[in-house]
Amino acid sequence: SSGINAEYGELSNDITDNQVYSIAPVLFPQLVQLFQTEALGASTRARALSIFGVFTTLISHMDSVETGANEKLLFPILPGLVDTSLNLLQAAPSAREDYK
Q: What whole-number distance in Å separates Cα of residue 85 and Cα of residue 70?
A: 20
Helix (H, G, I), strand (E, B) or coil at 60: helix
Split the chain (100 residues) into runs of 10 and give each run's mean pLDDT. Answer: 55 76 88 84 83 86 87 88 81 58
Q: What is the predicted pLDDT for the residue at 67?
A: 84
Q: What is the predicted pLDDT for the residue at 71?
A: 92
Q: Do residues 47 and 98 touch, judged by C-beta distance below 8 A?
A: no
Q: What is the predicted pLDDT for the residue at 97?
A: 56
Q: Do residues 40 and 34 touch, judged by C-beta distance below 8 A?
A: yes
Q: What whole-number distance in Å separates Cα of residue 52 and Cα of residue 57?
A: 9
Q: What whole-number distance in Å separates Cα of residue 52 and Cα of residue 70?
A: 13
Residues contacting 25, CB < 8 A, separation 6+: 73
Statement: the pTM of the whole predicted model exceeds 0.75: no
Q: Is the dihedral of CA 67, 72, 76, 82 positive or negative?
A: negative
DSSP single-letter state for residue 66: S
Q: What is the predicted pLDDT for the residue at 1?
A: 47
